[in-house]
Chain A
Amino acid sequence: MIEGVVVVAAVLVVATIFGLWHRRRDGAVRTMGDGGDERPALVGADLGVELGARATLVQFSSAFCQPCRAVRGRLAHVADQVDGVRHVEIDAERNLDLVRRLGIVKTPTTLVLDGAGRIVARASGVPSLDDVHAALPAT
């Protein structure tokens, strides 16, 4: 009985701390600075599509991932609104080699590629529309 109460209290406290921490950083867009990520640039063949002339928004999703749907809508909207921007959604589970190469650990994760396929920004979770726009490389 007492042990049970202690376990419940401990779980709720730890989960609350994790939940608050996660809420704060979910969707935050990290830009890679000049020259982009140290990883080699992606080419269209890695993704199975042509890269966008200005930017490609690469979204890693999984079938059971609830927030992936919101990200899909948001990124598709940006690709629709901005010339030269493409949105590509990749099933992370079926592309584990690519996932490993890019250091993707959870879904949804979004990479922003410039026209040359270099990773210029990444975000896990649901990024805001404004942040996605701000992360697009200049034309």
Chain B
Amino acid sequence: MKLFSCVLLVCIFFVESSVSFVYSEIIPTADKDSQPTDAVEGTEEGAKEIRINKDEFEEIVEQLQGMKELLLNMKQDYENRLKEMQEKIAALEKERTQTTDIVSQPASTTEAPIAGIEDIPMKKEEYDTVVEKLQKMESDYDSRLKEIQETYDSRLEEMQQKVAVAPQPASPETGTWSPEQPITLLSMGKSYMNISFNGLFAAAGSTAEDLETLETGGHDPNQRGFTVQNLETTFEGAVDPYFKGQANIIFQIDKDGESFLEVEEAFLTSMSLPLNLQVKAGTFFTEFGRLNPFHPHAWDFADQPLVNGRFLGPDGLRNPGVRLSWLAPTSNYTELFFTVQDSQGETAHSFRNEEALFGRDAVETRVRAMEDMLYTPRITTSFEVTDETTVLLGASAAFGPNSTGRDKDTLIYGLDMFWKWKSSYASGGFPFVTWQTEVMGRRFEAGEDVNAGLSDEVMHNWGTYSQIAWGFKKRWVAGLRGDYVDGEEEAVDPLGFERWRVSPNLTFYPSEFSKIRLQYNYDDILGSDSTEHSVFLQFEFLLGSHGAHKF
């Protein structure tokens, strides 16, 4: 009898403890040490290694609590009955010993209270029936316990299955929160938005008195001494299951020490339109050529190529609009882009810019019909030359009205090529070699300007750059760029003169999040028959979330 009750107690304890065991272990504790688990058949063991999201977790906890309660009730009930039985047994035992020992042990008169028991005559059969009854009960309880265990096991397995197929990423919940813990609002993977800040600065020395007439880019070093090139805050994340959103807000300090703020990009991108289509809407860099959509900190050089500054503008070609792109269902990558944007403003430099080009004064233009928007079609394709070499080719055009007169249009067209070799045994992404080249042409219908004495004519210009970056050793990149642009009519400074430029540089990346770059520019300004030498020391840091790199 004792053995039986012990077994029962052990059983109860086991079920109970396994429940509480799972219950407590489902919360991943800081010490995730565990014995080898059988992921396939493991029930309790598997469960303690499964990490799940909060909703599911709470659901499981609820279920388990229900179960625990049930088991507790059972235990209570069981214990009560066990107690009863034990009492009965004790009584019976006593009786038996009394009946058997009665001969040797003369009944003591002092045991008067117990004497009452003696009134119940103990018969062998009766004793046997009680034992039988108890045995029956034992098997009954055994089967009931088994049943409970089975349902419990199956439910646990079910839950496990659910957890295993749950698509949520691992969310490491490090126990319950207590008031002493810091509240993290923006930790990676735990917030709705990734935030990063990028600071890009340059120190410049030059033979040119005015660097602003030499450097074409709005983020280029603009004076002897220091330049704040770009202070960029990036917000990025999934908007909902359908869109991804991104915003790049730029702070800058100009030559005169004035701070200003600029919305460089803010757009959403569709994640899964049918027919391989994708929409981007907001204000964003136009998908024209290779370099234009890249932010300054991702450039391989401290300044932007001359042709980009001259045709696409100091701040790059960007405006509010919509872009539709289509991924061709081919085996190699081919994508078609079509962008419609506003055609006015200084970020549409060769178009309806308030500062008209070629010495003309801007006339007031407005959008009269669809053709007064800026349209940019682009096609790009990529293939793998070898296992380690990839080529990306593209062709783009941008057309829209310009501000030198009514019905005056501009067309920019370009070809671009990006080639990259990267070792199969690359460590930290090194070693690699990239070669990037762009050629652009511009057809500009310059309107008549009576005041300036300029007549109606069509200007054709072109320019090109080609650059190589060689990551020769981990953290070190050597670069070389050649630039050429032809001369613009009515040009007054190197920004419009025919010129070529050679720029070697060397960049050191202490880590992925910082860089130091030394660059030399040799400028040969054919238009004014002069040469200029400039040296830039650029440095960058990145705080916050790790953005994904484009190819």
A and B from one assembly? Answer: no
| A interface list, Cβ under 8 A from B | none
| B interface list, Cβ under 8 A from A | none
